[in-house]
Amino acid sequence: MYFIANWKMFGTLNSLNSLHKVVKFFKTFKKNKALKIIYCPPNTLIRPMSKKLKNSHLIVGAQNCHQNETFGALTGYVNSYMLKNVGAKYVIIGHSENRRAGETNKLINLKIKSALKSRLKVILCIGETLQEKRKKVTKQILKKQIRLGLNKIKNRSDILIAYEPVWSIGTGLIPKSNELYETINFIKKNYKKYKVLYGGSVNPKNINQLKLINNLDGYLIGGASQNSNKFIDIIKKSYN
Ligand code: PEP
């Protein structure tokens, strides 16, 4: 199971102080062989976090990258090669917060190709808006996001898909269990061999419901992942 922490634009050097709790938990957790914990902090914390987590088996990733893996006159941007260079092993691409800011499926495809060239593993985020859900076009939307996002990409082992309904991110809402099961099944049937995670308001309470959905390969966790105790609680409960 994958537990991916997306810190978004939160965190300073002080925020690394509580990571030792998660490191300690991982060491003593019986199921740690089946468990992958990946932290995606803001770019400013990738290097110090990688140093802190050295030898811990916890992994560090990034939250986005530019589509060019080469250097260039692009003020304010960071490419996949630079992220890899400071210790990232994964990168989240296509998060709905970035899609909303103008990231298209075509751009997402270029970013994924660039990340793979730099030997970063990719967490591709997909998900429908509330309006699309109401119109009952979720499956078409997800299919399009995957088809265009992964266009001409053969490498499946280095890509995870995170299903994150836009209406569930940061809202406290999660899909009905039968609907989530069906959606994950749909993705897995159409895109075989990809690991599929769920993201959207995962917390220590609703994990008891989510863990019963047995076709999930893990979770992408935003808000709750910034608190080490909550993050550990989610992981523990999902194995109980
Ligand atoms: C996310 O940003 O990917 C996310 C799932 O956020 P939250 O858990 O806060 O809803």
- Here the CATH number for the domain that contains residue 10 is 3.20.20.70
**Percentage above 70 pLDDT, the chain:** 100
d(CA 163, CA 158): 17
Cβ contacts of 13-16, under 8 Å, gap ≥ 24:
13/45, 13/48, 15/41, 15/45, 15/226, 16/45, 16/48, 16/49, 16/52
Q: How far apart are CA 145 and CA 196, in angstroms?
A: 14
> Which of the four pLDDT bands, split at 50, 70 and 90, describes residue 64?
very high
The domain containing residue 60 runs over which residues? 2-239
Q: Which pLDDT does position 32 carry in this prediction?
A: 80
Question: In this predicted model, what pLDDT tens digit does every residue of 181-191 receive, in sequence order?
Answer: 999 999 999 99
Cβ(159) – ligand 1 distance below 6 Å: no
Residue 165 CA to residue 58 CA, distance in Å, equals 27
State in Å: Cα 72 to ligand 1 middle: 31
Residues labelled as active-site residues: 95, 164
**For residue 68, how far is its CA from the centre of ligand 1 (angstroms)?**
26
Ligand 1 contact via 4 beta carbon (within 6 Å): no
Nearest by Cα to 233 from 211, 213, 200, 214? 211
Decide: 170 in ligand 1 pocket, CB within 6 A: yes
Q: H helices then E strands: how many in the chain?
A: 10, 8
Helix (H, G, I), strand (E, B) or coil at 92: strand
Q: How confident is the model at residue 79 (pLDDT cuts 50, 70, 90)?
A: very high
**In this model, does residue 240 exceed pLDDT 90?**
no
pTM: 0.97
> Coil, strand, or helix at residue 94?
coil
Number of domains in the chain: 1
The average pLDDT across 91-96 equals 98
